[in-house]
Amino acid sequence: MAAAAALIAGMAPLAACASNGESASAQQPQAQTTTPPPAAPQATTGYTDAQIDAFVAARSQINQLTPGTTTEEQQQNQIRISQILQEAGVTPEQYNQILEASQIDQTLSNRIAVAAVGDSLSDDQLRAFVTASAEIEPLNATLTSGTETERAQAAEQIRGILARNNLTIEVYNGIAAQARTNAELQARLQALNAPADAPSGSE
């Protein structure tokens, strides 16, 4: 039972780690607009699934753009970003609002993570999650109650754990968020974790 408890604890989305400016979302380029930037967004979950899906679709393509080093390259990137947003059916204002809101609203961030990961998770991804969550679980208390220095150190350790297991914070959080409500996914995770829980000998 101890291993199972550790797994469940490790399923908590990495809010503290992500909020240190190291999450995938925090690194996203914002879509530039000709209008003044919107006021700081309030935490909200009032976005529809269609809006979240459009945001995720646009972000995945924007992430693939190489940052421009010259004025011409930056202008070309902005043209391409405008095309991507139009194709995804999201305005620059909506994109930026969702991006900024996701950094202060963990529920919204979880919805985006779930949408980005999808529901076609391989056993390899889930095994990596199980392994990572077992290592991350002891660090959870530090992330929530440690000093600023301790939280930074724990976040760095977690990034290393995720890298060793070929996981991003977004993918980890997507699996963790789904596992909270998806009974089938919970069963798959428990099955993959079962060998570690099995007794070493017979009674």
In whole angstroms, what is the distance from residue 139 CA to residue 116 CA? Answer: 25
What are the Cα distances from residue 137, in Å, to 47, 117, 203? 31, 21, 30
Identify the H or E element spanning 163. Answer: helix 148-164
Model pLDDT, residue 24: 33
- What pTM, to 2 d.p., does this model score? 0.59
Mind listing the pLDDT tens digit of every residue in the chain (203 residues)?
333 323 223 444 554 444 333 333 333 455 554 444 444 444 445 899 999 999 999 988 888 888 778 889 889 999 999 999 999 999 999 999 999 998 888 788 888 888 888 777 888 999 999 999 989 888 888 877 888 888 888 888 988 999 999 988 778 888 888 888 888 888 988 898 875 544 555 54
In whole angstroms, what is the distance from residue 189 CA to residue 107 CA? Answer: 22
In whole angstroms, what is the distance from residue 113 CA to residue 109 CA? Answer: 6
In whole angstroms, what is the distance from residue 86 CA to residue 80 CA? Answer: 10
In whole angstroms, what is the distance from residue 101 CA to residue 103 CA? Answer: 5
In whole angstroms, what is the distance from residue 20 CA to residue 169 CA? Answer: 12
